[in-house]
Amino acid sequence: MKARRTLHALLLCAIVFLFLGAGDTDARFKDLGHRMMCACGCGQILLECNHVGCTYSDKMRDQLQAGLDKGNNDDLILQGFVQEYGPTVIAAPTATGFNRVAWIMPFAALAFGITFVIYVVRSWKDRPTPALADGIVPPFGQQNSELEEFRKRARKETDG
């Protein structure tokens, strides 16, 4: 009974392992295939290249599958492709060396922009209200309190 239960458990583990592996390889194939370009010059992602008679995409997909079947890790597979097809085969800059700049710059620009906008908003808030030019008087001789009433009414009518 115990041996049977152990056998069942082992079988279950084996099936789970097998399916986990299969799903993982499929997902990795899809992931890696979308991280590389087809080398035929069509400018498309490897798994999206649909050129009839493309001499590269089928071969590259087979190479990718072979790499996965061998149990190579992602970096090794990508390196193999870079060696064979050149650095342009990778669809996005790597996070190494000068290529890091490609990733940093957009976020640096956003951070700079946010800082700048906050600076602008603050400086505007601190700025005194522009004075009226000489000779211009508030119409109807209104005082600030009266104008504030108008403002409130306008806000109430137009807010939202």
Question: Smallest distance, Å, CB 48 to another protein?
Answer: 5
Question: Smallest distance, Å, CB 22 to another protein?
Answer: 17
Locus of tokens 């890696």: 32
Task: State yes or no: residue 107 binds another protein (CB under 8 A).
Answer: yes
Query: How far apart, in whole angstroms, are the C-alpha atoms of residue 116 and residue 41?
Result: 41
Give residue 92's identity as a one-letter amino acid code: A
56: nearest Cα among 69, 48, 93: 48
Contact set for another protein, span 7-46 (CB under 8 A): 34-35, 37, 41-45
Task: State yes or no: residue 132 binds another protein (CB under 8 A).
Answer: yes
Of 16, 49, 62, 69, the one binding another protein by CB under 8 A? 49
Question: Smallest distance, Å, CB 63 to another protein?
Answer: 18
109: nearest Cα among 97, 117, 121: 117
* Site residue total, another protein (CB under 8 A): 61
Task: State yes or no: residue 151 binds another protein (CB under 8 A).
Answer: yes
Structure tokens at 117: 């906008």
Query: How far apart, in whole angstroms, are the C-alpha atoms of residue 45 and residue 67?
Result: 18
CA atoms within 13 A on the CB side of 129: 2
Contact set for another protein, span 59-98 (CB under 8 A): 86-94, 97-98
Residues near 33 by Cβ (< 8 Å), separated by ≥ 6?
Answer: 45, 46, 47, 61, 64
Query: Which residues are near another protein by CB under 8 A?
Result: 34-35, 37, 41-45, 48-50, 52-53, 86-94, 97-99, 102-103, 105-107, 109-110, 113-114, 116-117, 120-121, 124-125, 127-130, 132-133, 136, 138-140, 142, 147, 150-151, 153-155, 157-160
